[in-house]
Structure 1
Amino acid sequence: MRKTRAVTHADLAPSHGSTGLGSKTGAFLMVLTIVCGLFCFVLCLIAEAARSQVTWVNSGSKENDEDSQCIYTGSGKIPLLCAAIAFVGLAVAMVVEHVYMLIAVSKATPPALVVWDPNSAYSKTITWKAGFFFVTTWICFAVGEILLLIGLSVESGHLKNWSRPRPNCLVIREGLFSVAGIFALLTVFFAAGLYLTALCAQRMSQEHENTRREILEASALYASPPRSPQHQTITSMARENPVVREDQIEQSSFTYPPAFAKQLHLVL
Structure 2
Amino acid sequence: MPGKMAVTHADLEPSRRSTDLGSKIGVLLMILTILCGLFCFILCLVSEATRSEVTWVGTNEKGKGAKYECVYSGSGKTPLLCAAAAFVGLAVAMVIEHTYILIAVTNSPPPALVSWDPDSAPANYLTWQAGFFFVTTWICFAVGEILLLIGLSVESGHLKNWNRPRPNCLILREGLFSAAGVFSLTTVFLAAGLYLTALRAQIISQELANVQREVLEASALYATPPSSPPHGITTIARENPITRENHDQQPLFVFPQAFSKHSNLV
Scaled by the length of structure 1, what TM-score is found? 0.77
| Partner of residue 71, structure 2 | 71
Q: How far apart are 1:227 and its partner, in Å?
A: 7.2
Q: C-alpha separation between the residues in 1 aligned to 2:132 and 2:115?
A: 22
Q: C-alpha separation between the residues in 2 aligned to 1:122 and 1:22?
A: 20
Q: How far apart are 1:117 and its partner, in Å?
A: 1.4
| Partner of residue 264, structure 1 | none
| Partner of residue 45, structure 1 | 45
- TM alignment of 1:88-237, pairs within 5 A: 88-110=88-110, 113-224=113-224
User: What is the root-mean-square deviation in Å for CA atoms of aligned residues?
Assistant: 2.5
The residue type equivalent to 1:51 in the other structure is R
Q: Which runs of 5+ in 2 are unaligned?
A: 60-64, 230-266
Please identify runs of 4+ aligned residues in structure 1 that moved more than 2 A.
1-8, 110-115, 224-229
Q: How far apart are 1:7 and its partner, in Å?
A: 7.4
| Partner of residue 250, structure 1 | none
Q: How far apart are 1:4 and its partner, in Å?
A: 7.1
Q: C-alpha separation between the residues in 2 aligned to 1:192 and 1:149?
A: 25
CA separation of 1:44/1:4 partners in 2, compared to 1, >3 Å: closer, same or farther? closer
Report if aligned partners of 1:110, 1:209 keep a CA contact under 8 Å in 2.
Answer: no
Q: C-alpha separation between the residues in 2 aligned to 1:111 and 1:149?
A: 44
Q: How far apart are 1:16 and its partner, in Å?
A: 3.0
The residue type equivalent to 2:50 in the other structure is A
Scaled by the length of structure 2, what TM-score is found? 0.77
CA separation of 1:3/1:148 partners in 2, compared to 1, >3 Å: closer, same or farther? closer
Q: C-alpha separation between the residues in 2 aligned to 1:48 and 1:80?
A: 10
Aligned length: 222
CA separation of 1:182/1:222 partners in 2, compared to 1, >3 Å: closer, same or farther? same
Q: C-alpha separation between the residues in 2 aligned to 1:104 and 1:215?
A: 28
The residue type equivalent to 1:154 in the other structure is V
Report if aligned partners of 1:33, 1:188 keep a CA contact under 8 Å in 2.
Answer: yes
Report if aligned partners of 1:112, 1:201 keep a CA contact under 8 Å in 2.
Answer: no
| Partner of residue 57, structure 1 | 57
| Pairing 1:20–2:20 present | yes
CA separation of 1:181/1:4 partners in 2, compared to 1, >3 Å: closer, same or farther? closer
CA separation of 1:21/1:66 partners in 2, compared to 1, >3 Å: closer, same or farther? farther
Report SS of the residue matched to 1:56: strand
Q: C-alpha separation between the residues in 1 aligned to 2:98 and 2:112?
A: 16
Identity %: 69
